[in-house]
Structure 1
Amino acid sequence: MTSTERGIAAAEAHSAHNYHPLPVVVATAEGAWVTDVEGRRYLDMLAGYSALNFGHGNRRLLDAAKAQLERVTLTSRAFHHDRFADFCTQLAELCGMELVLPMNTGAEAVETAVKTARKWGYKVKGVPDGRAKIIVADNNFHGRTTTIVSFSTDPEARADFGPYTPGFEIVPYGDLAALEAAVDADTVAVLLEPIQGEAGVLVPPPGYLAGVRELTRNRNVLFIADEIQSGLGRTGRTFACEHEGVVPDMYVLGKALGGGVVPVSAVVSSREVLGVYAPGEHGSTFGGNPLACAVALEVIAMLRTGEFQQRAAELGEHLHSELAQLAAGGAVAAVRGRGLWAGVDINPSRGTGREISEQLMARGVLVKDTHGSTIRLAPPLVISKEDLDWGLDQLRGVLEG
């Protein structure tokens, strides 16, 4: 039995089977490349679902983490620490907002956004107690907590986890008329992904986000943008909402905010919205810890240069040009996305998304399938054009070979 086989067997024997990973066991990683326990190298074209926007082992992020590890890693929010104020101030400035509420995981941040919107609805908007409604889109993916799966339309995420949390209405993604019809006096928020990642990198119709912004503003409803996957450089802008000149009432952030080093998430909004909280009403032992703040501060500093947004825009244009050629040849049924992010629908005659992912793994490229026939491409923003082209050559070889 090889080291890979032993590792997979041990994992399957002692861990819950809530994931179905590709049969590779990663041992080390650097930049856009990972190396398995057998010494084989793979080009990472998934980047931890955008958590690794800045690549594996980014030296700036590792140095920031190491320096903080020598000082203090956790105080809890029972005390102040010397990285917290800078983190909140700089993240608020990056978002053009006023207040930050830090958490750890993306799902925690979404739960925080839901709680915040409801409390704002009762305390500020004046919605009667217990009647707050949040509108979401079908095919959404905001996490897997019991509340979040209550408004999922994915049977795998939702089935057998009831009873479900009430207070949500689901409308078709990209359908502004349906959204407008769903808004009523009890509506406190509209929660959307500017681009739906797990659904296959679905980009809404032009003008949709701007229409949502106008509608919510006119009806005194919060527009919450879940930028956990789409934000922090992935689409060629700091936030995907920027492509339509939209600023929501609340950003939900995670994944890349921790640089692939530690889990860091946050809800960022105005003083009117996040100011509804009083001590004891919400919190997290690890949320906003010194180590998380140190890493996130370095992420913010890197984003302020604009370098990573520009790379995502330029390499993303090249990526989509190459994928369009594949689509023209018939091997690909459809391509969607923005920046260094693409959903590729495989022609069923070429195989399933899982089969294509396995064939790419055999060629040294790691991707992830979703919804049967789709693969997602989201390489680290630090990937070189040469490596990107090599990865696309492997995809071309699998589909046209």
Structure 2
Amino acid sequence: MTDATADPRSGRAARDGALQRGLKKRYAREARFRFYGLFAIAIAIGFLVLLLGRIIEQGHTAFTASQITVPVYMDPARIDRDYPQGTNFQLLVAQQQLARMGVVDDAQGTQATAYRTLLSSELKFRAADLVRRDPSVIGQTVEITAPMSDDADLYYKGEITRDEDAALRRVSDRQMEWLDDLKRDGSVTSGFNTLLFTQGDSTEPELAGVLGAVVGSALMLLVTALIAIPLGVGAAVYLEEFARKGRITDLIEVNINNLAAVPSIVYGLLGLALFINFAHLPRSSPLVGGLVLALMALPTIIIATRSSLKAVPPSIREAALAMGASRTQTVFHHVLPLAMPGVMTGTIISMAHALGETAPLLLIGMVSFVPGIPGAITEPAGALPSLVYIWENASELAFHERTAAAILVLLVFMIVMNAAAILLRRRFERRW
């Protein structure tokens, strides 16, 4: 009887085959994981491009505007030298323009009224200001440059066309003919819309600008930074470096983490109850807005600062203490300076987050129409997020393109702040 011996080569081949199959499965899993990751990134980039593309498509026209330059005879019979603001310069210009074209108006002035709607009310203010500064222009013919009305501007931008139903559009066929004539004779020109960046909010779209909201947001962030940064950094330093570990500090840490996840509208309700109804601070002011956003930013700043302090190696503390430094000197002379890049990054990101908040501002009254530019933190003011909300809900079509333009301005501010955080971190970060 002979013993059957197994061929050692067959066993080795089987093991090699199993190993190869295992390697193939592992490589396949890695390839699928990379594909899923790239696919997720592609979807995110696609949605981002779609969002930005839609905003740019809708808002890029707001950065240009049409303006008219017309000769105006300052009729002494119709202009009050002492009170030029009372003169209807729009109607005066409309009648003179129709007369130059040889158009005979009816007794009700229907044609002049229709022509007047193509001119912005800014023409009236500029003409009155010219008379007030130099009364000698009365009786003379002077040229005045002013924006066109929002409907006329939309027509020149192609947003209003003859293809639309005449009953639904706000510019009639006759008005379109007048606008074409003005464009042909060079009376109307298009250029950069400086009013968008030099004016506050207005009920007339062609005169509305973002400067008031930008100043309001800047004042609000100033209040937020002056309150939230010292309190947040100080609280984080105490909790991480000086406070004794126990139930009380554990409870505080849990509450700080929970406060960071509280919806922003809750902070708006708190600000409404505490700062307006109880403390009677001025409603719709950057002071109240800054206080509310400071409460909202505090947990984020505390968490970011504590994480930065924890990242400093314990050897830094031990070396400073071994050289005779006190606990306070160790923290403020060695640990905190080394953690400062992370602290600055977390602070800037929390400020950028506060800049884009809308819900708390709605509850404290910063959604109201506020013309002009605020000059102090206690004056009524708007903010960029609330301005976007107001313009998007306006009935005039021209406000919608300005809504997208305001979003672009807000995005630029947030991109600049986030880029500053990244640059500061890369510039001062130390690798341990």
Q: TM-score, normalised by structure 1?
A: 0.24
More strand as a share of residues = 1
Instruction: Give the TM-score taking structure 2 as reference length.
Output: 0.23
